[in-house]
Amino acid sequence: MSLETDFIVIGSGVAGLRASIALAESGARVTVLTKDKASESNTEYAQGGVAVVLSDDDNAELHEEDTLVAGAGLCDPKAVEALVSDGTKYVKQLIDWGIEFDRDGGKLAFTQEAAHSRRRILHAHGDSTGKEIVRALIVRARQEKRINLLPFANTESLLMADGRCVGVRFLDPILRAPRDIVAKAVILCTGGAGQLFLHTTNPPVATGDGMAMAYFAGAEMADMEFIQFHPTALSIENAPRFLLSEAMRGEGGILRNTQSECFMNRYDERLELAPRDIVSRSIVAEMRRTGSRHVFLDMTALDEAFLKERFPKIYETCKIYGLDIAKDQLPVSPASHYCMGGIRTDLHGRSTVAGLYAAGEVSCTGVHGANRLASNSLLEGLVFGARAGEAAVEDSRQLAAGSRRIEENSQSAIRDQQSAIATAVKKRVKRVMWERVGILRDKDSLQRALREFDQIAKSNLSISSKNFITLATMIATAALWREESRGGHFRTDFPEQHDEWRVHSIQRLGDEIDLSNRVSFDRTALRSSL
């Protein structure tokens, strides 16, 4: 027998929690499913902060312009306007809810990061902004009696009825068996897919399952080729790729090669404050030029007391590996960090599948374009999480949960299990993605990757492995299709950016990306097609 609720939210990061609160405030029953503990998400690992227009020398137009420039011509201006204007309101709301942003003399302390023209980044506890936002949102969500947080409930697939998403199938953590739960609508807030790559700053839960589930349900996916690689992940053998925040360069950190030379002046006049994609490629070029596996981030010119206060988590983590950020040069190299593409949505989180909404990194709202501006992701989760929740309520007023016959699930794969085969498949995919679909791409490497993925896909895969290989194939396919370099996508065989490619890649189950189908889309027109 199926469980029943009014709305289902999958994921408990900033977007999922904010969507849940918006739903509950309408009086609806909300079930939040997450495959780990409630606080485990990309949000919790966000160090850089949240960008918002609140300082006296800043304004919305400047923040919008910085976002559009970083997005390399593919941002939706209306989405960017919504992000910036609504963002101020929702961050103020967070402050009212008790979030503890860092202050200087009682006033909010703003910092600057790469590609921002003003100091507009708010931090909490130095470098633990995401963790503090999740804490505040969980406290607020638990005040809503209609929100049921269900941790360790791994969602397997979406349930469909007459072309509409009406629920999910998940593994019940108590029964250890699959169960169905039906609702008026589902909001996917499952985060990104950084774990597709061998080296990533993302937590283990960031495997992209939400994107794959939406794809198999018939949702359109947009701009999957645009992957952001963070330039400065701690690079120590047999250690996780711990993120060294963008803010470290914003505060004056210098990049040096293994010969202790500053090198960013060879690549960009903005030096260490150039956009992430440029800094990442510059580091790769310098590593190749010097024959090294890393470069160094040098913070030694800054005061030790300041560094301990400003970057407490980074300071303590580096200390574990025998590094003092105030005295030692820190070995760093790029790692996968953020997906600009995802489930194609309108300005209110509606996907192209009725009853299915998405917010946060799992979605493609048009905010980030080809390259996300630093510290816009937490803001996006807040704004579009709230918008998706409000839209789901409004669109579903005449619907009753569980009123339609559920169709047979479209996913055909064996149930997940911790097996040597599944582990081997993912390791193979991660290595191919890093080596052939990584920071530098070309036709030959992408075609070779797709041939290997096609071979893997013919195996008898588990659900999670099928999701994994499907996403890898989508990213490589879109990267092969886009014969230019733009934002986070760089083709060594097509190194220039061209106006004719100022369009979005769209993928849907059963369709092919084809040059003749290159069309731009107006996200605000999506609602009429639902």
Known catalytic residues? 276
Q: Choose among 278, 269, 340, 347: nearest CA to 82.
A: 347
Which residue's structure tokens are 């059963």?
A: 510
Token pair recorded at residue 454: 């096609």
Helix axes 129-141, 77-96, angle to 10 degrees: 70
Contacts of 328 (CB under 8 A, 6+ apart): 300, 318
How far lies 26's CA from each of 6, 29, 148, in Å? 11, 9, 15
Burial class (CB in 10 A: 0-12, 13-18, 19+), 361: buried
Torsion angle of the four alpha carbons 513, 517, 520, 526, in this order, in degrees rounded to the nearest 10? -80
Q: Summarize the chain as % helix, strand, coil (round to 5).
A: 35, 20, 45
Using CA atoms, how far apart are residues 380 and 375, in angstroms rounded to an integer? 9
Burial class (CB in 10 A: 0-12, 13-18, 19+), 195: buried
With H, G, I as helix, E, B as strand and everything else as coil, classify residue 242.
coil
Strands 363-364, 342-344: pairing is parallel
Which residue's structure tokens are 């011509």?
A: 73
DSSP 149: E
DSSP 505: -
Query: For the residues of 192-215, what is the DSSP string, one character each?
Result: --GGGSSSBSS-TT-S-HHHHHHH
Cα angle, residue 343 at apex, residues 339 and 346 outer, rounded to 5°: 115
DSSP 441: B
Query: CA torsion sign, 86 to 382 to 49 to 91?
Result: positive
- The residues with which 110 forms a beta bridge, in sequence order, are 122
Token pair recorded at residue 337: 């960090």
Q: Choose among 386, 377, 384, 383: nearest CA to 50.
A: 377
Using CA atoms, how far apart are residues 350 and 365, in angstroms rounded to an integer? 10
Token pair recorded at residue 111: 């910092």
Burial class (CB in 10 A: 0-12, 13-18, 19+), 483: middle
Token pair recorded at residue 438: 């990584």
Amino acid at 529: S
